[in-house]
Structure formats: structure tokens, C-alpha cells
Amino acid sequence: MNVVETVAGMDSARAALSGAVGLVPTMGALHDGHLSLVRKARADSDHVVVSVFVNPTQFGPQEDLQTYPRDMHRDLRLLEAEGVDIVFAPSTGEMYPPGFDEWVEVRGPLTATLEGAFRPQFFRGVTTVVARLLRIVQPHRAYFGEKDAQQLRVVRRMVREQGLPVEIVAMPTVREPDGLAMSSRNAYLSREERRAALVAPRALELAKDMVERGGEKDVARLKQAMERHIRREPLVRIDYIAVTDCETLEELAVIERPALLLLALRVGATRLIDNGLLALDRSP
């Protein structure tokens, strides 16, 4: 496995590859969710490149850039075991050289709402770094997790708007055995908070059950039930609960077609997101 730390080094490593290239962009602190993307890329492609870069431009001033979990030795061990060809692990100076001014932004409600409303800098940072990674690595496919549902849709939109020749492949959320969605930020949770965080998957299950078995279509009633469930857990605060169109992420008042339920919670100081599909039961 080749570990490349400069853009020039990545350019020449890329030039030496022939056949299909898959890119898995990550911020490191890898878990099974990341590894499911790597395995899919491995199955689809002749060569797999994984980027490991904690991207400062997607963090707000009050966020966890300094404390974001980093463990390059462990990440490299895991990636080597998955048969990754190249790990691209640039410094901040390589990704954002002096005078950098190639900001890539998707405008409109897709980036202004939900995560965009709580983290105003987030999507501009993500689209800028992902566009730069795609231009450097020039993969045929790039892999993203469905846990970051809004990020996935924003990246797809960005790729379309920028005319980048890459297929964006989405993979399902990977969960712990008790249902908590895997996230590098789960490492922040104390034992008590880890237990409290289970209200996220349980609230999603509750909503799924109400819609799919109970036939509930009214979003206000659904949210009320979820809020009641979550508020029983004193360590947890709700940033948002939203039921949206699956593609545009525009909020719905009534569920008449499959919808996406998105959730952002604070468990102590840790912010967690999760989501699930709501499909009305069509059985007679």
C-alpha cells in the first residue's frame, strides 16, 4: 500500500494506474461504516484510493476540529488489510495552499436547511474538499455513506453542477449491534451518553412503526411522538427532526410517498445524526 502525502505525489501515483479507480473520501478514525465503503470500492474497481484528511473548512469555530479523533497508524493497518492500493493523506497546506481560492458551493435550500441551518460553513467545506479530491484523484467512482444523507445529496448535486466525470455510489448506514449508527464521533461518548444515544435509533424505529404498521401519515403527530420519546432522556437535546422528500429534502407535512426521516441530536457535547426511510405499507 502506497501512502502519499502530497498532491504532486498523488498526481504521479494516479498516472501510473490503469483501469477503474474507486475513491473513498474519509476524515480517518475509521470504523466499519468506512470499511463497508472500502469493500464496495474494492469489489467494483481495479484500484482503490482512500483519502484521510480532517478537513478544517467544514468545521465551525465552536466545533471539534482540534479534538476530532485521529489515529493514522490504526487507519493504515485497517486499510492495508482491506487491500487498498493508495492512501492519500495530505497536510492542510497541500489541500489549501497559500492563496487557495477555489471554493465550490452548492446554493439553495438543499444546503441551507437541516445540517446547513445548524452548521452554516459545513457544506461549503465539504463540497470544496470533495471537488478538490475528485480533481486530484480522478476516480471513476466515489463512495459515500447514507448516514450523512444530506451530504450525499449535496455531493451528488455538486458533481452534477461542476460536470465532474464520476459516479457517486451510496452505501447503507452500518450500525452497532444495539442499533446506534457508526460514527467516528461515537468515540466522544461516555458510558452514560453511549446508552442515552440509543434514543436516536429507537425514535427512528418508533416512527417507522407508526408509519409502516400504524399507517400514520401526519408528520406533526409523528414528530410529537418522537419528541416525547427523546425528551425522556435528560442527556439528549434535539437539534431537528425532519420528514422530507427523499431527493430534495424539502420538508413534508403529510406522508404520501416514501419519505426520509432525518434526526440530529446532541448527547452531552456530542452531536449525532441519523436517518431512515419511511415507506407506507402497501400491503392489502
Residues at the contact surface with ligand PAF, assessed by CB under 6 A: 25-27, 55, 58, 126, 129-130, 148, 151
Q: Find the shortest distance in angstroms from Cβ 33 to ligand PAF.
A: 10
Q: Find the shortest distance in angstroms from Cβ 184 to ligand PAF.
A: 8
C-beta of 7 vs 206, nearer to ligand PAF? 7
Q: Determine the residue type at 171.
A: M
Q: Find the shortest distance in angstroms from Cβ 55 to ligand PAF.
A: 4
C-beta of 67 vs 190, nearer to ligand PAF? 67
C-beta of 200 vs 207, nearer to ligand PAF? 200
Q: CA-to-CA distance for 29 and 56, rounded, in angstroms?
A: 15
Full 3-state SS string of 53-86 = CCCHHHCCCCCCCCCCCCCHHHHHHHHHHCCCCE
C-beta of 113 vs 184, nearer to ligand PAF? 184
Q: Find the shortest distance in angstroms from Cβ 28 to ligand PAF.
A: 9
Coil, helix or strand at residue 264? strand
CB atoms within 10 A of CB 12: 10
Q: Find the shortest distance in angstroms from Cβ 259 to ligand PAF.
A: 23
Burial code (b: 16+ CB inside 10 Å, e: under 16) for 188-220 equals bbeeebbebbbbbbbbbebbbebbbeeebbebe
Catalytic center residues? 34
Coil, helix or strand at residue 9? helix
Coil, helix or strand at residue 200? helix
Grid coordinates given for 219: 408528520
Counting other chains too, the contacts that 201-208 makes at CB distance below 8 Å and 24 or more residues apart are 201/175, 201/274, 202/229, 203/229, 203/230, 203/241, 203/263, 204/261, 204/263, 204/274, 204/275, 204/276, 205/179, 207/261, 207/276, 207/278, 208/261, 208/276, 208/278
C-beta of 111 vs 151, nearer to ligand PAF? 151
